[in-house]
Copies of this chain bind each other. A is one copy, B any other.
Amino acid sequence: MPTDKNIDLTISDGHASAPPKAAKKILDVAYDLFYRRGIRAIGVDEIVKRAGVTKPSLYRSFPSKDELAASYLRQYDLEYWERFDEAVAAHPGDPRAQIKAFLTRIGKRTQVADYRGCGMTNAAVEYPDHNHPARVVSEANKQELRRRLRGMAVAMGAQDPDTLGDGLLLLIEGAYISGQLFGLGGPAQAVARNADLLIEASLKK
């Protein structure tokens, strides 16, 4: 796939009332459907129908359904780090508070009916093949998450920062999954509390 038809997804083009591009409508609808119901569960016919476009339009903007799924995850990735950076920016120089803010937010998000967890995690479960375009995006996102958490564990002064960083990642992934498994009142609401306990137990005394 040397072409990059699906790179340009600019929201606006300067002029005020430009009609929304087909590619954007398609990606928006695919985002919603892929996330809520799963990538394999959604056919391209349903996407184009809900987007009010036709199938050739989809395939003019995206080389394949798999690549559309990868585009969905790239968009997800962007918004993911936005949320992460918000929590970080809210507590400058205080990684422990940053983690707590991020996890509190996750814990809250999991406590809504029909919560569907992390789109990245779900995609990796749907596509075990490491070469699948969607999975490539997913794995990169998780590697980056691990990198950041370990870095914050260092900044917190953990005795064994890699272990603490990984422990936090396990709690986070557990919250994503438990959120969709248990629904309201599930274990995911305890993620921030447990993370703080784990951090406390992992600091140099």
Interface residues of A (CB under 8 A from B): 36-38, 40-41, 114, 116-117, 121-122, 124-128, 138-139, 142-143, 146, 162-167, 169-178, 180-182, 186-191, 193-194, 197-198, 200-202
Most chain B CB within 10 A, of A116, A170, A200, is at A170
Taken together, the copies of this chain in the complex come to 2
Q: Are A40 and B40 in contact (CB under 8 A)?
A: yes
Within the complex, which residue of B37, B40, B197 is in contact with A198, where a contact is CB–CB below 8 Å?
Answer: B197
Contact across chains for B180 and A166 when beta carbons are under 8 A apart: no
- Please indicate which of the listed interface residues A41, A169, A171, A202 has the most CB atoms of chain B within 10 Å of its own CB: A169
Q: Are B169 and A174 closer than 8 Å at their CB atoms?
A: yes
Q: Chain B: which residue is nearest A35 at the CB level?
A: B128
Q: Which of B38, B117, B163, B177 contacts A190 (CB 8 A)?
A: B163
B-side contacts of A139, CB under 8 Å? 181-182
A172's nearest neighbour on chain B, judged by CB, is: B174
CB–CB A170/B167 < 8 A: no
Residues of B contacting A37 with CB < 8 Å? Answer: 128
Contact of A170 among B126, B143, B165, B190 (CB under 8 A): B190
Residue of B nearest to A173 (CB): B174
Q: Which residue of B lies closest to A118 (CB)?
A: B177
